[in-house]
């Protein structure tokens, strides 16, 4: 057994502390263990941050791809609607010019039906979609 080392405290030599070699070795072991744990945890957290950043990049690419698809869809649908609108109003002009009230009624009915239609109306449950968007269970994070 080794003899304890006397370490003076900051309060002065009359309040010295005895530390044995075993206690010093234990302190060294704790320092090495704490430094090792710190390095391991730091690396794990760095890896987690990299995974989160990769997930974020992936989700942003997915969002951009969906945006592009939806934008192209809207461009296509509204281009078709523009053509349909032009044709309906041309037919309305023809019906008015011919003085045919049944044709005028039929064309106006078509215009009203077109105005009430939504391009995505029958494609999904948008009430549920809007109800879940931005809830605590499904937050929007940008």
- For residue 100, what is the DSSP state? -
How do residues 40-81 score in pLDDT, each as one tens digit?
Answer: 999 999 999 999 999 999 999 999 999 999 899 888 888 887
pTM metric for this prediction: 0.47
3-state secondary structure of 22: helix
Q: List the one residue out of 31, 3, 37, 36 whose CA is nearest residue 18.
A: 3
How do residues 17-47 score in pLDDT, each as one tens digit?
Answer: 788 899 999 999 999 999 999 999 999 999 9
| Domain boundaries defined on the chain | 5-132
């Amino acid at each position: 057994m080794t003899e304890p080392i006397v370490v003076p405290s900051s309060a002065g030599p009359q309040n010295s502390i005895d530390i044995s070699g075993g206690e010093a070795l234990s302190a060294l072991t704790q320092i090495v263990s704490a430094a090792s744990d710190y390095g391991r945890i730091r690396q794990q957290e760095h890896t987690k941050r990299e995974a989160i950043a990769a997930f974020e990049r992936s989700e942003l690419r997915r969002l951009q791809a969906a945006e592009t698809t939806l934008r192209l869809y809207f461009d296509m649908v509204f281009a078709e609607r523009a053509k349909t609108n032009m044709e309906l109003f041309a037919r309305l002009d023809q019906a008015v010019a011919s003085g045919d009230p049944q044709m005028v009624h039929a064309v106006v009915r078509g215009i009203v039906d077109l105005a009430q239609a939504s391009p995505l109306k029958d494609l999904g449950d948008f009430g549920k979609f809007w109800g879940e968007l931005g809830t605590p269970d499904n937050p929007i994070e940008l």
